[in-house]
Structure 1
Amino acid sequence: MEVKQKLLNATCTYDDKLKIWSGRKAQSLFSPDLSIGEIIFGEMVNHPKLIAQISITEDTVLTREELHMNAMRVASYMRNMGLGQTDIVGVMGRHTTHLSAVAYACFFNGTPFHALHNAYEEACIAKLFGLTKPRLIFCDGDEYEKVKSATKDLQVTIVTMRNHPRGSVRIQEVLTTPVMQNFQPVRLKDGIDHTLAILSSSGTSGFPKAVTISNSHKIIVDYMAINNSNIQYTSSTLDWFSGLLMAIISGVFSTTSIIADCDFNPGLFCRAIGKYRISMVLLSSSYLAMFANSPEFQSADLSSLKYVFFGGSSCSLEVQRKVRSRLSHDCLNFCYGLTELNSAGSVNVNFDEKPNSVGRPIRGIQIKILDEQGEAQGPNVVGEICFNNGQKWLGYYQNPDETRKIQDSENWIHTGDLGYVDEDGYLFVIDRLKDMLKYQNIMYYPSEIENVIAEMPNVLEACVFGIWDPVNGDEAAASVVKKPGTQLEAQDVVDFVRKRITAKFKQLNGGALIVDQIVGCGNRKTNRSAVKEHFINNYNNN
């Protein structure tokens, strides 16, 4: 029987038998056998005098020729250590001047880097680097002692990128390494299926899992016009897919990258847009909210902006409309996907037409919506959002069991998010199936905090959930049942968590509430949504 397809527009079709929405056919901009490192290497050779990077906090400027030389020096240092395609390099740093050279060096050598966020605690670092066992780690001096302690059982060389403590190897020392004669990027043994990088995604245990990213060209943006006239900015570091993506965009399309080695500062960002004529921006939803609500926002010169991409979590329509009101044309783009997909899944390039949608599937991407029985659903029916990009994902590093939970036998990636696709092919995300929370785009699980609260002698039961904040995202809050006959105040719980957990994103930033009981479902499992609703209705009355 012939499958009927409906052409929704030039960018999206719908198969009403299979109930699948498809973006346009993917196109390869480069020879399909080239690795990401080979592509970037060639582009740097072709455009040596273009400005590659400007640091607005370290006051440095690098041409592509200079960045290319630095990357080859770092790559030569790695080769002198004997690192190859079967090894892994650790990375944990902010946007310092030479971080991009480290990334490109790994690409040139076919040596994947495993990137962690600098806010991770020592136990998390020990678990993740204990999994991939890097022999070489690049980190900021700010985190040197934490990284050193976490990797004490590994034979590892630690190179610091800034604020160098005694005992570390400085990046400046690495950059004195002579470039090997006739240096060329390696040919990958596994071709584009070779691992490019390893990022982090939260797992059911509470610890992040190691997500592999391949050398597939699907990571190269092919759905918008990018060239070397673009000036780009992102606050995302290499441990986020968005940070990795922007590093690749800069290398592949010879754009100029504006960087800062500090936490996102909306005032600094506003000034940078006008000064450097930034045209392309990629922000997390929380940073977009900070940007829109900053004192400098209304007076900032935003006339150079052509693409404003944001995503990673929900974003209020109020914030989106506020930003849109300052832009000269419809260039506000809500992005949606997940690290495991190794690319974006959908992008809304028509905010004015479909506010708050995350858009249609991009090139090479298919979307389907599944009900609780796993059956595909048609337009405007809510279910689990699933993506397929036409290739086999390499999975979580050394974790096939967790891989099978998210990728099925037909290579569909199950997001764990609830949403629907409307009659025009626009995807809307309405809720999460998962318990995972995100604070300023750093992922964590409520069970981690619940386990700490449970250690309090006067606590009988606790439930932790996220209270949405337009700037920070999910702020953890707790409803707590005290043991009969004991004394316990909400502030006692907040203070206890603060003492036991050092990470800011795992604090009870949303507060605590002492309750008589935790609301449960019929099977006595905690109903987080009901507990959260009760908290919201009663917190301000206590």
Structure 2
Amino acid sequence: MSEVNYDENLKIWSGRETRSSFSPDLSIGEIIFREMECHPKLIAQISITEDTVLTREELHMNAMRVASYMRDMGLGQDDIVGVMGRHTTHLSAVAYACFFNGTPFHALHNAYEESCISKLFGITKPRLIFCDGDEYEKVQAATKDLQVTIVTMRNHPVGSVRIQDILTTSVKQNFQPVRLKDGTDQTLAILSSSGTSGFPKAVTISNSHKIIVEYMGLNSSIVQYTSSTLDWLSGLLMAISTGVFSTTSIIADCDFDPGLLCRAIAKYKISLVLLSSSYLAMFANSPELQSADLSSLKYLFYGGSSSSLEAQRRIRSHLSHDCLHFCYGLTELNSAGSVNLNFDGKPNSVGRPARGIKVKVIDEQGGALGPNVQGEICFNNDQKWSGYYQDPDESRKIQDSENWIHTGDLGYVDEDGYIFVIDRLKDMLKFQNIMYYPSEIENVIAEMPNVLEACVFGIWDPVNGDEAAASVVKKPGAQLEAQEVVDYVRKRTTAKFKQLNGGALIVDELVGSGNRKANRAAVKKHFINHFNNN
């Protein structure tokens, strides 16, 4: 069980201290480069969908070839590489190449719309982008105003630069990873997070060694799998782990398939699995789980949002020992914030502070609160965070002057140091772990000529997470059906996670609060009561 210390004067909970086994001046790229040289014949990666196997020696060489291609382009530590792809065979080589060169990659989810891609890459302005051929036209259109080379990772369109073309690049005999000019505070990668407003932010991740999960005791005997791609912190953490600890990574370039995972665990003796909460629910409800051999699992982590106790119990009933644990945190922290290793004692908790993490709960005035008092949960891991890329104003909204990261979650810490999340203080929603805001959908509904006003909220689904639903007020005398609203949003918004997956309801008025703004919680309650009573 994780240990925790509580400072009664400061009202701060702290996890155990963490220490790095590596020289403090080494970058993540230098550590991985040297570790890959030490174990060249070990299997680094197996793709169960593309039917490929790479040794660490082969992956190391591929990464050096991609890195050499970038160097030939003149890309350096002040440049940024764009990444938007599934778990294809050569995606890890791209990530490691960036690490070797000290060139941060900016990773986006492949489900993002063209307008979102345009805005995000418009911030970081990559000169080189790696994406799947499936999204080539979308990425090309989104970056038409940038001078960018686009390399496709699979399903290559005619005329595109293929990753196989890049892998023919010659490597100089004395190739070495670069030394970082700003040390381990230098940006390693840039991921996406919604921050404190609706538009996704470019979240910087540093080369700090705290991103290396040494305390788990990973080694070359570990076979790992994750559904998370490089745009999620969990996906980045797993990519780093396999490079640093010589684990074997099992990958698949398809949408998450619980049956495929069941078969892979049995065939490859997978010992470490990291899933998003929505995929954990799919896993729990999968018919294949009933007969699956999960005896090889040592660690089964999930995170991103809460999961029903029923789903957790169903999975635990099929495990040979208790290894299902919830991880809680946020991308801006650059590491996990807490882990629950005590399901039986604290089944509704998100766990105790992870190693190197400090936690406090504050009131609306910023004052620290003691045990069992609700407030906003804040984290601090004593490392420098460079904030949202080129967005200091938004950075200051989430990180205060003492470097505490404000989660925007309402919760408390109990007398045993376990953190409990009650609700979100901000309006952000998550559908299959992809963040979005109700206002984005409200703005689309507002375009309809017969709509007076609308309020969008999330209806919890154990598989998908927050399914958007809307209560809509029509203009006086107008005709408007709920299905019309659902259909309009579907036509205007291509992203699956921004659909009204929870449905719509036409109402006479929105439940108001004292300032005459819609009370989202009250409107949601009215919506649920309506359908429960009809």
TM range (shorter): over 0.9
- In the alignment, what sits opposite 2:322? 330
Deviation at 1:181, TM superposition (A): 2.4
Q: Deviations over 1:52-92 (max 9, x none)?
A: 00000000000000000000000000000000000000000
Q: Among residues 161, 182, 191, which one is paired with 1:169 in the alignment?
A: 161
Distance 1:158 1:215 in 2: 26
Relative to 1, partners in 2 of residues 1:10 and 1:360: Cα closer, same or farther, differing over 3 Å?
A: closer
Distance 1:330 1:418 in 2: 28
- In the alignment, what sits opposite 1:453? 445
- In the alignment, what sits opposite 1:316? 308
Distance 1:203 1:14 in 2: 29
- In the alignment, what sits opposite 2:407? 415
Q: Deviations over 1:405-442 (max 9, x none)?
A: 00001000000001111111111111101101110011
Distance 1:77 1:422 in 2: 53
Q: Among residues 228, 242, 248, which one is paired with 2:220 in the alignment?
A: 228
Partner of 2:311: helix, strand, or coil?
A: helix
Q: Deviations over 1:488-518 (max 9, x none)?
A: 1100100110111111110000000011111
Contact 2:277 2:303 in 1 (8 A): yes
Q: 1:195 corresponds to which letter in structure 2?
A: T
1:138 maps onto 2:130 in alignment: yes
Contact 1:13 1:22 in 2 (8 A): yes
Q: 1:182 corresponds to which letter in structure 2?
A: N
1:49 maps onto 2:62 in alignment: no
Distance 1:289 1:205 in 2: 28
- In the alignment, what sits opposite 1:6? none
- In the alignment, what sits opposite 1:504? 496
Distance 1:521 1:537 in 2: 19
Distance 1:391 1:241 in 2: 16
Q: Deviations over 1:167-220 (max 9, x none)?
A: 210000000001122000000000001100000001455221000000000100
- In the alignment, what sits opposite 1:379? 371
Distance 2:145 2:180 in 1: 30
Deviation at 1:520, TM superposition (A): 1.4
- In the alignment, what sits opposite 1:207? 199
1:472 maps onto 2:464 in alignment: yes
Distance 1:113 1:522 in 2: 46
Q: 2:322 corresponds to which letter in structure 1?
A: D
Gaps of 5+ in 1: 1-8
Deviation at 1:14, TM superposition (A): 0.4
Q: 2:117 corresponds to which letter in structure 1?
A: I
Deviation at 1:539, TM superposition (A): 2.6
Contact 2:83 2:130 in 1 (8 A): yes
Contact 1:212 1:397 in 2 (8 A): yes
Contact 2:196 2:426 in 1 (8 A): no
Q: 2:360 corresponds to which letter in structure 1?
A: K
Q: How many residues align?
A: 534
Partner of 1:397: helix, strand, or coil?
A: coil
Contact 1:421 1:428 in 2 (8 A): yes
Contact 1:210 1:397 in 2 (8 A): yes
Deviation at 1:268, TM superposition (A): 0.5
1:398 maps onto 2:398 in alignment: no
Contact 2:441 2:498 in 1 (8 A): yes
- In the alignment, what sits opposite 2:143? 151
Distance 1:119 1:323 in 2: 28
Contact 1:330 1:352 in 2 (8 A): no
Q: Among residues 190, 194, 216, which one is paired with 1:198 in the alignment?
A: 190
Distance 1:207 1:334 in 2: 27
1:278 maps onto 2:300 in alignment: no
Distance 1:203 1:25 in 2: 28
Distance 1:205 1:216 in 2: 27
- In the alignment, what sits opposite 2:86? 94
1:35 maps onto 2:27 in alignment: yes
Q: 2:266 corresponds to which letter in structure 1?
A: G
Q: Among residues 516, 521, 529, which one is paired with 1:537 in the alignment?
A: 529
Q: Among residues 17, 23, 39, which one is paired with 2:9 in the alignment?
A: 17
Deviation at 1:123, TM superposition (A): 0.5
- In the alignment, what sits opposite 2:120? 128
Contact 1:334 1:356 in 2 (8 A): no
1:298-309 equivalences in 2 (<5 Å): 298-309=290-301
- In the alignment, what sits opposite 1:118? 110
Distance 1:29 1:219 in 2: 13
Partner of 2:504: helix, strand, or coil?
A: strand
Distance 1:520 1:64 in 2: 60
- In the alignment, what sits opposite 1:5? none
Q: Structure 1 residues 300-309 or 346-355, which shifts more? A: 346-355
Q: Structure 1 residues 501-510 or 222-231, which shifts more? A: 222-231
1:183 maps onto 2:175 in alignment: yes
TM-score with structure 1 setting the length: 0.97
- In the alignment, what sits opposite 1:62? 54
Partner of 2:249: helix, strand, or coil?
A: strand
Contact 1:380 1:423 in 2 (8 A): yes
Deviation at 1:222, TM superposition (A): 2.5
1:483 maps onto 2:480 in alignment: no
Distance 1:11 1:42 in 2: 33
Distance 2:23 2:344 in 1: 37
1:440 maps onto 2:432 in alignment: yes
- In the alignment, what sits opposite 1:251? 243
Distance 1:378 1:227 in 2: 39
Contact 2:351 2:419 in 1 (8 A): yes
Q: 1:299 corresponds to which letter in structure 2?
A: S
Q: 2:423 corresponds to which letter in structure 1?
A: D
- In the alignment, what sits opposite 1:492? 484
Distance 1:29 1:11 in 2: 21
Partner of 1:269: helix, strand, or coil?
A: helix
Deviation at 1:100, TM superposition (A): 0.2
Partner of 2:283: helix, strand, or coil?
A: helix
Distance 2:294 2:285 in 1: 15
Q: 1:175 corresponds to which letter in structure 2?
A: L
Contact 2:362 2:376 in 1 (8 A): yes
Q: Deviations over 1:107-145 (max 9, x none)?
A: 000000000000100010010101100000000000000
Contact 2:2 2:341 in 1 (8 A): no
Partner of 1:346: helix, strand, or coil?
A: strand
Q: Among residues 411, 416, 422, which one is paired with 1:430 in the alignment?
A: 422
Contact 1:129 1:151 in 2 (8 A): yes
Distance 2:2 2:341 in 1: 13
- In the alignment, what sits opposite 1:291? 283
TM-score with structure 2 setting the length: 0.99
Gaps of 5+ in 2: none
Partner of 1:106: helix, strand, or coil?
A: helix
Distance 2:320 2:234 in 1: 25
Q: Could you say what the CA RMSD is over the residues aligned between the two structures, in angstroms?
A: 1.0
Q: Structure 1 residues 48-57 or 216-225, which shifts more? A: 216-225
Deviation at 1:226, TM superposition (A): 0.9
Distance 2:266 2:317 in 1: 17
